[in-house]
Amino acid sequence: MRRRATVALVALTATAALAVPAVAAAVPPGSPVLPPGRRPPPKQPVATGSGGAVSTVDPDASRTALDVLKGGGNAMDAAIAAGATLGVTEPYVAAIGGGGYITYYDAKTHRVSTIDGREFAPDQMRENAFIDPATGKPLPFDQAVTSGLSVGVPGTLAQWDLALRRFGSRDLDDVLRPAIKIADRGFVVDQEFRDQTAVNEARFRDIVPTRKLFLPNGKLPEVGSVLRNHDLADTYRELAKRGPDWLYKGGLGREVARTVAKPPVDPAATRPVRPGLMTPADLAAYSAVERAPTHVPYRGLDVYGMPPSSSGGSTVGEALGILGNFRLDRRDPVTALHYYLEASKLAYADRGRYVGDADKIGVPLDELLSPGFVRERACLIKPDEAAVAPVAPGTPDGRYEPCVPPGTQTRSLAFEGPQTTNLVVSDKWGNVVAYTMSIEQFGGSAITVPGRGFLLNNQLTDFSFQPPPPGGAPDPNLPGPRKRPRSSMAPTLVLKDGQPRLALGTPGGSTIITTVLQILVNRVDLGMNLPAALAAPRATQRNTPQVFAEQPFIDAYGRNLAARGHRLELFPGPPTGVIGAATALEVLRPGLVQAVAEPTRRGGGSALVVRPAR
């Protein structure tokens, strides 16, 4: 996409003793040559200053957030305004037809909270929902995605409403105004947006309102052209007047349910697009939920994350707990990365076995993060030899031995779309927001609500498609009525002595967890400054036989890690060879914040501050 997804968060200093040099801002190359007056806003990956800061993937969204901060709004106001703008400029990733997670630090109470806006399944959904009755086998993934069956009850609007009521200072009308202007004015199409449209072209053509919106005149949008979305502008205007109940208890909700039940497919299309199970009653039953965050200590810091239904906080937290049993030396990055990969492998094994929607199943969260359990898992790691993956999950039962034998069997890694976006905002009062939002795939289900200008998600494909065989271990992530599918989204905040130091997040599906974890290891253990920690080459180990990595990581560390038994292969994407697209903010010292975005991945991001430092 044009400014594709991720907006990291507020990266804050890992320890007070770490000195972080300022990094000069630069605009990444590669912007298309456009007519005067139609150029997109410039991007800069690093900005340092005071009064508030923001990092997103998109210059319009970052500018929206900055304007809210300059106008006296707080971090939550700015984050929701930026999210609404991303719904315009990043429509294949961020939309009111999707959901997300917010992690929030409140400067008045010095407390961290989270808001779960994850979609849930319709009441009629059962464990075998993705089994084809004609074959008895799981649906092909491409058929499951482009269908009403994949659409979960959207959570974004309920999340915005709860977030603004609990922590904001503006109402929905105020924070939607900038996005309405941008939707009417339009944004400039770049090569990234055109490429992502091209990937979806075939299925977009089969859905009439999607074709009309994203394939103007039946063609791919040209680089340098302006894409306007008057339907979305009108939808936002009505939401500003009527509020979220228009979706959850009113006419917009009936339109969404009707679209899911009978997708608006071109009669000439040959693609099978299955109807979904959503009803207006499912929308009326939905609510966003405020939850206690996960919390783990690490190297004198306090790391807070998103609890289940997300697996982000639990899996990052468990891996950090495992790593806390080892001394990682910045002078020996190969050994540090070996431990990072092995800790990830073990934590992913436990994620797959135990983590799902805690409202529907029992998740042993406290035990997964307990010192005894992470020590038991850490003792399986050999300093000079990688364990053969997949490894077996541990037993978080409160009775921990020094070691347990590693296994070799576990269920395969479920597919989770990498198309997400993350943003982070801080304000002059010290509040911090880390916000990850998604409609799952780029383009979600490909189904646009007619006349409303937004795509619907395909988040229900995050469920496991097939129940385990008789006698097999239970799967915590099977479909179920009004159950939230497991996510890897991991908006993360790091505090030191009760004060924010770091916040970060990324898109990337199940690689989100390893990207957040690797950035923390880079910053805290390997001594990189935040821009370097984000820019460093990445690898992801998700309890698979291979370690998938970016080519610069393979070039730098492949031979030495292979000598310890790691099997490195190029990350297949999408996009090929690129893992994540993080952004972050760091508190360098009281009153001085550094906002950081990707310099090159997925076209780079946009970091801004209210008052730049001289």
Distances, alpha carbon 439 to alpha carbons 140, 150, 509, 612, in Å: 20, 11, 11, 34
Per the listing, tokens 């103007």 go with: 216
Per the listing, tokens 């200008």 go with: 453
Secondary element (H or E) of residue 49: strand 46-56
Measured CA to CA, the distance from residue 73 to residue 66 in angstroms comes to 9
Measured CA to CA, the distance from residue 430 to residue 519 in angstroms comes to 23
- Residue 436 bears catalytic tag: no
Measured CA to CA, the distance from residue 416 to residue 398 in angstroms comes to 31
- The answer to whether the CB of 441 falls within 8 A of the CB of 91 is no
Measured CA to CA, the distance from residue 83 to residue 479 in angstroms comes to 28
The two structure tokens encoding residue 63: 């500018």
Q: Where are the alpha helices (DSSP H) in 221-356?
A: 230-242, 245-248, 251-261, 280-285, 312-323, 333-354
Tell me whether residue 67 is exposed, middle or buried, using C-beta atoms within 10 angstroms of its C-beta: 0 to 12, 13 to 18, 19 or more: middle
Beta strands 46-56 and 606-612: pairing type?
antiparallel
The two structure tokens encoding residue 46: 């690093």
| DSSP per-residue letters across 514-573 | HHHHHHHIIIIIS---HHHHHHS--EE-SSSSSEEE-HHHHHHHHHHHHTTT--EEE---
* Options 89, 420, 461, 514, the catalytic residue: 420
CA angle 434, 438, 443 (to 5 degrees): 150
- CA neighbours closer than 13 Å in the CB half-sphere of residue 544: 18
* Catalytic residue annotation: 420
